[in-house]
A and B are shown apart, each in its own frame.
Chain A
Amino acid sequence: MHVQAAKTVSHILHNCRQSENSYPRSYPPKTLLPFLTPPKTPTLSFRLASAPIKTREPNTNKTKSKVSIQVRLMRFVVTKPSAGAGAAGKARLGALYLGGGGAAPPIETPALVVPTRRGLPSFISRDLLDRLPYPDSLLLHLCPIHFIECPSTRTIKNIGGVHEMVGLQDHFFIASPGDSVESLPEHGGTNKIGAAFETPSGRRLINPKDYMDIISSTRPNLWASLADEVPAWVTEKRNRLSIDRTLKWLDDCLSLDQEKGASTLGAVVGGPNIEHRKKCATEVSMRNVSGFYLGGFGLGESIEERSALLNAVTNILPEEKIRFVSRLGLPEEVLQGVAAGIDLFDSTYIYHLTLGGFALVFPLDILGEAPEALLRNSSNDYTKINLHATIYRKDTSPIVDKCSCYTCQNHTRAYLNHLLNVHEMLAQILLEIHNTHHYLGFFRSIRRALKQEKFELFRERFMESRRVHLMEAVPYS
């Protein structure tokens, strides 16, 4: 059992900030930290929250260090339990600690899990990742399906796992099958042997053993079991089948797991059927898992019916274990998930925005701003701007005034407009940096609102401002 004292972690952090090599590259000796149970009062997470956005020193010439398997385990702690009452009754704050003597600071939840392709973001290379908000940007998604073809599991194992392979030894990887961009679950192809995914190289079927091969060679910090995720319009019979399969595959994965569930997120499915969802949640809770992956969302259910489904599941799941959901990407969907008690979100909202040439601009200080200020908008859309538009040709302002991301600190809207018009890759790099930075800021705002116990107000204000813009966009006589 690897647990860590919050007080000791902050002590290490304090020293890290002071010393010349401010962030240790290889894990310090394990004798450095005594092992104590974490405190019940979440003093550390509050302190981190009030600190300004911190970024790390650039990390350009890092030497590789092989890290032993023990340090990978993560521990989740609920730092501010849900209030239990009210519409946002199930929202809670938590912290993810990397165990085993490392000095990595905890990641606060609810948190965004940054999407990746083969372990790296689509456009942000590791030396640019350094400048994103810290430690929020340490949390990355891993899609095992990306590694079906290459590199082989043996090569990945030899290299030492995904952290070594992509040069992000200090980051945390959370794995779930499928990503929302190009490895989509294909329920029609899934059968009793394995789950099917549509990938750029065609349809692929993966069984629990192959899946666990990839998991055990990549060694993410947390991983979801293989699931049969079906869209909302399947028959009841197909839905029931998906639950049976998912449970069986969970058991298969666990039996192949060397860590006996210590890093496993049990997959809970059940489609649009509340009773099925409850049944699946109950079953999965009985297994020896460390957390839960709520699968099958974002596959066609309406946003209205989703709340009921989410809550049906989280009502049953044990409070102290972490919950991760995929494909709830839009801000409204994130807020919905937070209200239902979800801790981790994997969103491809940023990716789609970036590809379309959009940059997020909505104000993050939603509680601080007067309501009228929020509704005032300088462009057509309060949330985002499309930098393709000719109005930006000569706009020498940054995307968002006072944004501390690399893009806003160094480049103008005019330059981005030009890059988009000439189809240069740098446009996507700069946009992904800004959008990721901004969206991580959104999650910080959510956590701040939760700490101040103003989450309901936060959510209301945010939704109100979105609705106003929609109404303005629709002309009526």
Chain B
Amino acid sequence: MALQFEVVGRFNRARASKLTLPHYVVQTPMFMPVGTQGTIKGLTNRQLEDIGCQIILGNTYHLALRPGAELIDELGGLHKFMNWKRGLLTDSGGFQMVSLLHLADITEEGVTFQSPVDGKPMLLTPEESIQIQNKIGADIIMALDDVVRTTITGPRIEEAMYRTLRWMDRCIAAHKRPDAQNLFGIVQGGLDPVLRDICVRGLVERNLPGYAIGGLAGGEDKDSFWRVVAQCTAALPEDKPRYVMGVGYPLDIVVCSALGADMYDCVYPTRTARFGTALVPEGVLKLKHNAMASDERPIDSTCSCMVCKNYTRAYIHSLVTRDAMGSQLLSYHNLSYMMRLSKDLHMSIVEGRFPEYVRGFLRTQFPKGDVPQWVCNAMEVAGIDISSCCAPVPV
């Protein structure tokens, strides 16, 4: 195990922690931006540090293709290659392969697919995934899991869950650098609580440094989503970090944090920036909209990032979808927003004002009091009273 996890604050299920990794000490709850190909699109390392990013993700699938795992290894690992001094996390490559490639097929051996380079049949096994991730050298690496979309039903889900456990063992056996890299297991099982429970217990038995909740954020209804997160966080060990994969909407992050999750990743903030949408406390702001052309306010008057301190909506409007600078500035702001959200979650738990923070957040996002039912349900389980945020039900 190459990490230390110390809980420094609590409110019911929610917790704030200090997570010490080989390259950096991070504070959770924490959002991790996705730097797919060894870079966050349009931002330099210095800017990411200014914004407060702690861990960024690299995608094993993309990096193994270009520039290649061997090359990264030869040049000293991904940290050195990118010159990124803080934390890195790589996923297993399985998800991309299944979601990006046609004719990808999952067998007991691994994921077979057609190479996008030359069309040859290729196979990614758990052993190979871990080998590639060992070469890349990230602080946290993910086991290869059998990912199934939550919208699918039937025996496939059960098959995938058991296979995930079997592959977990193969990943553990193949992992050559447990002293420098933390191998997280991923809980699968679709939306079935029985399957999820079996998977959690199986992974906990293997005593891993940390656990991820996978297979969500793929189109399932929100009410099912939070229930799976709640069940898993309740069953996973208290003294290890919990990572909900693919979660990026600020509201989802607040709810999951209230239920006891610590880490999140998503392409949403940076991707939506490139389409001209800014994240603000009230929700989103579409800078492309004509109304923005004469709006002289900053994107978010409560935000102290470089973009909000210097630019008006009108100017950003003139840039978005026309100039690369528009994408850059919006990505900068959106990531600043996510880092501020992470920091606020952490500090409000540490300072004993987490429920007030949650209420404030919900009131700003739902000024009319129309908080979605699933949020109300989740907050009840989390033990946070948000009745003051919800409008009275009309009779």
Contacts and interface: CB of A to CB of B under 8 A. Distances in A.
Q: Do A and B bind each other?
A: yes
Given A126-B306, A150-B293, A165-B315, A425 B75 contact: no
A422 B310 contact: no
B41 A426 contact: yes
A417 B74 CA distance: 15
Contacts of A430: 44
Interface stretch (A60-68, A79-87, A219-227): A60-68
Given A60-B50, A422-B37, A410 B45 contact: yes
B204 to A, nearest CB: 38
B304 A419 contact: no
Given A126-B310, A151-B314, 10 more contacts: A60-B50, A61-B309, A117-B323, A122-B323, A122-B324, A127-B50, A128-B44, A150-B318, A394-B75, A418-B38
B329 A406 contact: no
B81 interface: yes
A461 interface: no
Contacts of A410: 44-46, 83
Interface of A: 58, 60-64, 117-118, 120-123, 125-128, 147, 149-152, 154-155, 158-159, 165-167, 200, 393-394, 396, 406, 410-412, 414-415, 417-419, 421-422, 424-426, 428-430
B309 A64 contact: yes
A414 B81 contact: yes
Interface residues of B, number: 43
15 contacts: A64-B310, A126-B306, A127-B50, A127-B306, A150-B318, A151-B315, A154-B294, A155-B296, A167-B311, A414-B75, A415-B81, A415-B83, A417-B67, A425-B41, A426-B43
Contact of B325 (A61, A120, A165, A394): A120
B20 interface: no
Contact of A125 (B45, B66, B293, B329): B329
Interface string B293-320: 1101000000010100111101101110
Interface centre among A122, A154, A155 (most CB of B within 10 A): A155
A198 to B, nearest CB: 16
Closest 10 pairs (CB-CB, A-B): A167-B310, A425-B42, A426-B39, A418-B67, A150-B318, A422-B37, A151-B314, A155-B314, A155-B294, A60-B306
A376 B312 CA distance: 50
Nearest to B74: A394
A330 to B, nearest CB: 24
B318 A118 contact: yes
A394 B310 contact: no
Contacts of A151: 293-294, 314-315, 317-318
A432 to B, nearest CB: 10
B71 interface: yes
Contact of B62 (A62, A414, A422): A422
B207 interface: no
B328 interface: yes
Interface string B238-277: 0000000000000000000000000000000000000000
A126 B75 CA distance: 32
A34 to B, nearest CB: 33
Given A125-B325, A125-B328, A127-B50, A421 B67 contact: yes
A149 B294 CA distance: 12
A158 B47 CA distance: 29
B317 A425 contact: no
Contact of A122 (B81, B294, B325): B325
Given A118-B323, A166-B315, A63 B37 contact: no
Given A128-B47, A150-B318, A155-B293, A117 B325 contact: yes
B120 interface: no
A408 to B, nearest CB: 12
A394 B81 CA distance: 10
A363 to B, nearest CB: 25
Interface in B138-153: none
Nearest to A409: B83
Contacts of B293: 150-152, 155
A460 B45 CA distance: 41
A392 B37 CA distance: 18
Contacts of B317: 150-151
B322 interface: yes
A45 to B, nearest CB: 31
B332 interface: yes
A417 B323 CA distance: 23
A412 B38 CA distance: 13
A118 B325 CA distance: 10
Contacts of B323: 117-118, 122
Nearest to A128: B44
B327 interface: yes
B82 interface: yes
B88 to A, nearest CB: 15
Given A418-B66, A422-B62, A425-B41, A159 B312 contact: yes
A154 B352 CA distance: 48
A422 to B, nearest CB: 5
A411 B80 CA distance: 9
Contact of B75 (A63, A396, A406): A396
A155 B316 CA distance: 12
Given A151-B294, A151-B314, A425-B324, A62 B309 contact: yes
Contact of A159 (B37, B45, B75, B314): B314
A331 B293 CA distance: 39
Contact of A425 (B294, B310, B327): B327
Nearest to A411: B83
A343 B294 CA distance: 37
Contact of B309 (A63, A128, A166, A422): A63
B327 A159 contact: no
A117 B39 CA distance: 24
B117 to A, nearest CB: 12
Contacts of B45: 410
Contacts of B318: 118, 147, 149-151
